[in-house]
Amino acid sequence: MKSSIAVVADADTVTGFKLGGIKEGYVVESTQEAEEILTNLIKEKTAIIIITEKIGEELREVIEKFTKSSALPMIIEIPDKSGPSHRATDPMRELIKRVIGVEMVK
């Protein structure tokens, strides 16, 4: 199976990951642009899409629609240059709490 990785992020992040050896990097400025590119990438069956947390925050619903049920694509959110954003609730933690029923110390 041919599989690929793509980065959809701001200019610096894309430059960084290009240095790290990813060919497909898309610099996006607006939310709309990001959504278009994401949809295209998913259509082309890109396996892993790396996005910044900022974009992730804005496109939460679109992303969830694609990732809820199927194994691929994997959309991974990473912090950008300004460091990890401090979300009020960690979505992973929420999920674990809901499933297990008790708070797990992570």
- Binding map of another protein across residues 41-60, x = CB under 8 A, - = no contact: ------xx-x----------
Q: Which stretch binds another protein (CB under 8 A): 31-39, 55-63, 66-74?
A: 66-74
**68 near another protein, judged by CB under 8 A:** yes
CA distances from 68 to 47, 60, 74, 84, 86 (A): 15, 11, 10, 23, 23
Residue with smaller CB distance to another protein, 36 or 94: 94
Mark out the alpha helices in 8-88 (DSSP H runs).
Answer: 11-19, 31-43, 53-58, 60-67
Candidate residues 10, 16, 33, 58; the one interacting with another protein per rule CB under 8 A:
16
Widest Cα–Cα separation across the chain: 43
